Amino acid sequence: MLRKIITCFCLTLASLTMAQVGGEATYQFLNLVSSPRQAALGGKVLTNVDYDVTQAIYNPATINAEMDNQLALNYTSHLGEIGYGTAAYAYTLDRRTQTLHAGITYVNYGSFDGYDEIGNSTGTFTGSETALSFGYASQIGYSDFYFGASIKLITSKLEQYTSFGAAADLGLLYINEELDFNAALVVRNLGSQITTYAGLNEKLPFEVAFGMSQRLENVPIRWHVTLENLQEWPISRPNPARATSDLSGNQSSEEIGFLGQVIRHTIVGAELFPEGGFNIRLGYNFRRGEELRIIDQRNFSGLSAGISIKMNKMRFSYTHAKYTGAANSNFFGLQIDLR
């Protein structure tokens, strides 16, 4: 039975996989970092199976009984007037220890000055997007594998244009309790627009990701490795600003080899005291670090760091990360135990 489920999962994945580049899909806010913990560990973590109720927004297979009656609220002041956040809650039913999960992701783009084609002011306008998700996970028989799924209802309003869509996330999780090792495969944003902005149907930001993590035996550290955007190869394009010229004036574009492409799919992170009341978190996103790198200038792009403090039934989290060469982002999170 387990082999059949995994085979069907992989066949579905293979039939739906398609390359997507940033800017070629709508509802890009679906791939925003969902919490300070995610941001601190590099931006995408798939394998945390604990109290963190926000984790299920990115991988529904991680929904578990420890999330019962946990409420999480997260907010980020991103760039300029753009602000976004997430909220999540889980509830465990009495029978068969089934846990249901609900989450919301929203982004407010602030206000903009509008002008017509000849430069006359048309006033100000705003933009915002929201996704509401419902998820559930279950153990596959008596194996070490868990399967989870969530459905998302998406609304978007950009000036006078509106759109509505629906999507699903699928996750397969492996837990080895003896080695304290987890691995996960996630397929995100399977779906489409139901109503379009102006009659043109656009693709959703489909993504396939694979992650691993393990708690070290004698050291209170849990390491994380995530391979993102596996549906896309190559993932990187030459940067025109890094073109070189020879003595004759002939220009050569930036060359990105096989290893360079592989490393751009990779995110690494580590969490110190992962099960304690105080955590220190560090992460590095190789793709973000490389794409924001400025020649002959050190700007620490791709690096992120955060902390978490638990006080009674509340846990506060904070993360500092660099997403542009001009500004930094600060992530704030609060999780409340309502039991």
pLDDT in tens, 6-22: 444 344 443 333 344 45
Instruction: Name the average pLDDT for the chain.
Output: 87
Tokens representing 192 are 């489409």
The secondary structure of 158-221 as a DSSP string is: ETTEEEEEEEEEEEEEEEETTTTEEEEEEEEEEEEEEE-SSS-------EEEEEEEEE-SSSSE
DSSP letter at 74 equals E
Q: Please give the helix or strand (H or E) that residue 124 lies within, else none.
A: strand 121-139
* pLDDT score recorded for residue 77: 82
Q: Are 261 and 234 in contact (CB under 8 A)?
A: yes
Q: Which helix (H) or strand (E) holds 333?
A: strand 328-337
| pLDDT attached to residue 295 | 65
Task: List C-alpha distances in Å: 135 to 30, 61, 166.
Answer: 15, 9, 14
pLDDT-derived band at 261 (thresholds 50, 70, 90) equals confident
Q: Is 37 exposed, middle or buried (0-12, 13-18, 19+ CB in 10 A)?
A: buried
Reading the block at residue 55, the tokens are 């984790």
How does residue 4 score in pLDDT terms, banded at 50, 70 and 90? very low
Cα 104 from Cα 89, distance rounded (Å): 9
pLDDT for residue 151 is more than 80: yes
Mean per-residue pLDDT, 183-200? 95
Determine which helix (DSSP H) or strand (DSSP E) holds 99, and give its type and residue range. Answer: strand 99-115
Q: Is the pLDDT of residue 74 over 80?
A: yes
DSSP secondary structure letters along 276-293: SSEEEEEEEEHHHHHHT-
Stronger pLDDT, 144 or 236, i.e. the higher one: 144
pLDDT grade for 2, boundaries at 50, 70 and 90: very low
**Secondary structure (3-state) at 226:** strand
Mean pLDDT, residues 302-331: 89
Instruction: Over range 234-238, report the average pLDDT.
Output: 76
| Most confident by average pLDDT, 15-24, 120-129, 183-192, 236-245 | 183-192
Domains present along the chain, CATH in parentheses: 2-112+124-337 (2.40.160.40)
What percentage of the chain exceeds 90 in pLDDT?
62
What are residue 135's DSSP bridge partners? 101, 150
**61 within 8 A of 99, measured Cβ to Cβ:** no
Distance CA 224, CA 200 (A): 39
- Tokens for 78, please give them: 């991103």
**3-class DSSP assignment, residue 31:** helix
Summarize pLDDT for 323-334 with one digit per residue, the tens.
776 678 899 999
CB atoms under 10 Å from CB of 85, counted, come to 21
pLDDT of residue 244: 64
Over range 83-109, report the average pLDDT.
Answer: 91
The residues near 240 (Cβ < 8 Å, ≥ 6 apart) are: 253
Confidence of residue 191 (pLDDT cuts 50, 70, 90): very high
Which residue, 84, 56, 64, 62, is CA-closest to 323? 84
